[in-house]
Amino acid sequence: MRGGISVVIPVYNGARYLSECIESVRNQILPAADIIVVDDGSEDDTPKVAAGWGDRIRYERISHGGAARARNHGIRLVATDILALVDSDDIWLPGKLDLQVAALSREDGPAMVFGHMEQFVSSDLTPEEAAGFKFNPAPLPGIAASTLVIRQSDFDRVGPFDESLATGEFIEWNSRARDLGIKTVLVPDVVCRRRLHRGNMGRGGAAIHGTSYLRMLKQVLDRRRP
Residues whose CB falls within 8 Å of the CB of residue 176, separated by 6 or more in sequence, listed in order:
158, 159, 223
Render pLDDT for 186-204 as a digit per residue (tens, 0 to 9).
Answer: 999 999 999 988 776 433 4
**First-last CA distance in the chain:** 42
- What CATH number corresponds to the domain at position 214? 3.90.550.10
Are residues 40 and 67 in contact, defined by beta-carbon separation less than 8 angstroms?
yes
* 226 pLDDT higher than 90: no
120-129 long-range contacts, Cβ below 8 Å, gap at least 24?
120/193, 120/194, 120/195, 120/196, 121/196, 121/197, 122/17, 122/195, 122/196, 122/197, 122/198, 124/16, 124/197, 125/197, 125/198, 129/198
Instruction: Please provide residue 112's backbone torsions phi and psi, each rounded to the nearest 5 degrees.
Output: -125, 130
Please give the Cα distance from 5 to 24 (Å, whole number): 15
- Per-residue confidence (pLDDT) for residue 225, from 0 to 100: 54
Alpha-carbon distances of 132 from 91, 125, 135, 185, rounded to whole Å: 22, 10, 10, 33
Three-class SS state of 22: helix
* Residue 122 clears pLDDT 70, i.e. is over it: yes
The mean predicted confidence, pLDDT, of the chain is 89
Q: So what's the pLDDT on residue 1? A: 54
Confidence at residue 218, expressed as pLDDT on a 0 to 100 scale: 52
Quick one: pLDDT at residue 207? 43
pLDDT reported for residue 96: 98
Query: Which range marks the domain in which residue 34 is found?
Result: 5-224
Please state, in angstroms and rounded to a whole number, the distance separating the CA atoms of residues 70 and 68.
Answer: 5
Tell me what pLDDT residue 41 has.
Answer: 98
The number of distinct structural domains making up the chain is: 1
| pLDDT tens digits, 161-178 | 999 998 899 999 999 999
The DSSP 8-state label assigned to residue 108 in this structure reads: S
Taking alpha carbons only, the member of 31, 34, 35 closest to residue 21 is 35
Whether the pLDDT of residue 136 is over 90: the answer is no
- Tell me the average pLDDT across 25-40: 98
Does residue 137 carry a pLDDT above 60? yes
Dihedral of the alpha carbons of 74, 77, 83, 86, in degrees to the nearest 10: -20
Question: What is the reported pLDDT for 3?
Answer: 79
Residues 76 and 43: their CA atoms lie apart, in Å, by: 24
Q: What is the CA radius of gyration of the chain?
A: 17
